[in-house]
Amino acid sequence: MSRAPELLFALILFCFFSIIALCITSRQMVPTGDEPHYLITAHSIAVDGDIQLLNNYQEKDYRLFYPGELAKRTTANFDKTRE
């Protein structure tokens, strides 16, 4: 007797549940470290067509992919004008 139908069914079932698990867990993972800053840069290039990020940070565009407040990762200029 051939076990091909049972193996095929098991493989399809495994793939189905793997995709479901991946969809559930991928929505729970948030970017960490510098990733949100890279994503806000990519967002600014794609949506605004520039790399001027101050307006994106002020408008909190990062909320599209990051749930909390972002830590500032900039340094002040010699005249202390940079945010």
Report residue 50 as tokens: 């520039």
pTM (two decimals): 0.56
Distance CA 31, CA 29 (A): 7
70: domain range?
A: 32-83
DSSP state of 7: H
Residue corresponding to tokens 């290039």 = 45
Q: Which residue has the tokens 């189905």?
A: 16
Q: Is the pLDDT of residue 3 over 90?
A: no
* 81 and 56 both lie in a single domain: yes
What is the per-residue pLDDT across 19-54, written as a single tens digit (0 to 9) for each? 998 888 776 778 888 889 999 999 999 999 998 988
pLDDT tier for residue 76 given thresholds of 50, 70 and 90: low
Residue 73 has pLDDT above 80, yes or no: no
* 22 and 53 co-located in one domain: no
pLDDT for the residue 25: 77
Q: Would you state the structure tokens that stand for residue 4, as one six-digit string? A: 């091909």
